[in-house]
């Protein structure tokens, strides 16, 4: 049994200096696209909505994601994911990209029925969001200190049918704003990542479904729900 994962790299990964970067904490942002906030019937938040997944939530492309037995309604949420390469404490938005080593696309799998029950009772979402393999991520595109273009497009299909597609310029808060905010509360460490929120189109997946996510730059993530 494996107890840690390392990030996978797109393309000529053997040459990449951070090829042995271990997957760390997975910081996740909720309610960051207006169209998804509307489909959930939620209010636009004041401060960013932040939750975490543990490293065991990671899975690489090709993984099988098992629906926990406590849920009858697991949803896909496609999200742009950025990975941190150097420690971040109190980093200003304009300095954020110096600390990012790569980006890709991930799925924030969510037990919607369990989350709804927790919300109704005023309890934490943790088990609805943070179970094993709840956060698969594609191979990463290296950024080498450069910003990600705001025209970056993320999309996902279920069994070949498109469910979600958006560009990251539809975010309520930009990636530099989010990482700066997180760095004021936490210490972001090499190998940590940030899931930056999902656009509209989330829907239920069931055992036997194949979820395929893509982002600009040619990276792909495919997982099977079992
Ligand atoms: Mn999400």
Instruction: Write out the chain in H/E/C secondary structure.
Output: CCCCCECCECCCHHHCCCCCCECCCEEEEECCEHHHHHHHCCCCCCCCEEEEECHHHEECCCCEECCCCCCCCEEECEEEEEEECCCECCCCHHHHHHHEEEEEEEECCEEHHHHHHHHHHCCCCHHHHCCCCCEEECCEEECCCCCCCCCCEEEEEECCEEEEEEEHHHECCCHHHHHHHHHHHCCECCCCEEECCCCCCCEEECCCCEEEEEECCCEEEEEEEC
Are residues 133 and 63 in contact, defined by beta-carbon separation less than 8 angstroms?
yes
- Mean pLDDT across 2-29: 84
Give 183-196 pLDDT, tens digit per residue: 999 999 999 999 99
Q: Cα of 51 to ligand 1 centre, how many Å?
A: 9
pLDDT of 15 strictly over 60: no
State how many domains the chain has: 1
- Considering only residues 93 and 11, tell me which one the structure prediction assigns the higher pLDDT: 93
Residues 6+ apart with CB under 8 A from 211: 65, 76, 107, 156, 157, 158, 205, 221, 222, 223, 224, 225
Q: Cα of 197 to ligand 1 centre, how many Å?
A: 5
Q: Cα of 22 to ligand 1 centre, how many Å?
A: 22
Q: Cα of 14 to ligand 1 centre, how many Å?
A: 31
pLDDT of 19 strictly over 80: no
Q: Cα of 195 to ligand 1 centre, how many Å?
A: 7
Q: Which domain holds residue 24?
A: 14-225
Give 146-202 pLDDT, tens digit per residue: 999 999 999 999 999 999 999 999 999 999 999 999 999 999 999 999 999 999 999
Nearby residues for ligand 1 (ion, Cβ within 5 Å):
77, 108, 198
Q: Cα of 102 to ligand 1 centre, how many Å?
A: 19
Q: Cα of 48 to ligand 1 centre, how many Å?
A: 12
Give 99-124 pLDDT, tens digit per residue: 999 999 999 999 999 999 999 999 99
What is residue 142's predicted lDDT score, i.e. its pLDDT?
A: 94
87 in any annotated domain: yes
- Mean pLDDT across 42-59: 94
Q: Cα of 15 to ligand 1 centre, how many Å?
A: 32
Give the closest residue to 45 by CA, choosing from 56, 58, 30.
Answer: 30
Q: Cα of 133 to ligand 1 centre, how many Å?
A: 14
Q: Cα of 29 to ligand 1 centre, how many Å?
A: 6
pLDDT of 2 strictly over 90: no
195 in any annotated domain: yes
pLDDT of 14 strictly over 80: no
3 in any annotated domain: no
107 in any annotated domain: yes
8 in any annotated domain: no
Q: Cα of 30 to ligand 1 centre, how many Å?
A: 5
Q: Cα of 158 to ligand 1 centre, how many Å?
A: 17
72 in any annotated domain: yes
9 in any annotated domain: no
Q: What number of other Cβ atoms are within 10 A of residue 210's Cβ?
A: 13
170 in any annotated domain: yes
CATH code of 206's domain: 3.90.850.10
């Amino acid at each position: 049994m494996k107890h840690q994962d390392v990030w996978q790299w797109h393309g000529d990964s053997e040459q990449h200096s951070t090829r042995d970067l271990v997957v760390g904490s997975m910081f996740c942002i909720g309610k960051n696209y207006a169209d998804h906030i509307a489909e959930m019937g939620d209010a636009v938040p004041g401060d960013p909505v932040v939750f975490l997944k543990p490293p065991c939530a990671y899975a690489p492309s090709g993984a099988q994601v098992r629906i926990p037995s406590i849920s009858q309604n697991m949803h896909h949420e496609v999200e742009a994911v950025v990975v941190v390469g150097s420690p971040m404490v109190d980093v200003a938005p304009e300095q954020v990209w110096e600390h990012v080593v790569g980006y890709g696309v991930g799925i924030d799998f969510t037990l919607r029925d369990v989350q709804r029950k927790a919300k109704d009772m005023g309890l934490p979402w943790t088990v609805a969001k943070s179970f094993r393999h709840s956060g698969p991520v594609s191979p990463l595109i290296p950024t080498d200190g450069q910003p990600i273009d705001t025209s970056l497009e993320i999309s996902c299909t279920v069994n070949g049918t498109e469910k979600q597609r958006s560009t990251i310029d539809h975010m309520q808060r930009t990636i530099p704003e989010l990482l700066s905010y997180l760095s004021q509360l936490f210490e972001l460490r090499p190998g940590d990542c940030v899931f930056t929120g999902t656009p509209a189109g989330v829907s239920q997946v069931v055992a036997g479904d194949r979820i395929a996510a893509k982002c600009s730059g040619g990276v792909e993530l495919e997982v099977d729900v079992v």
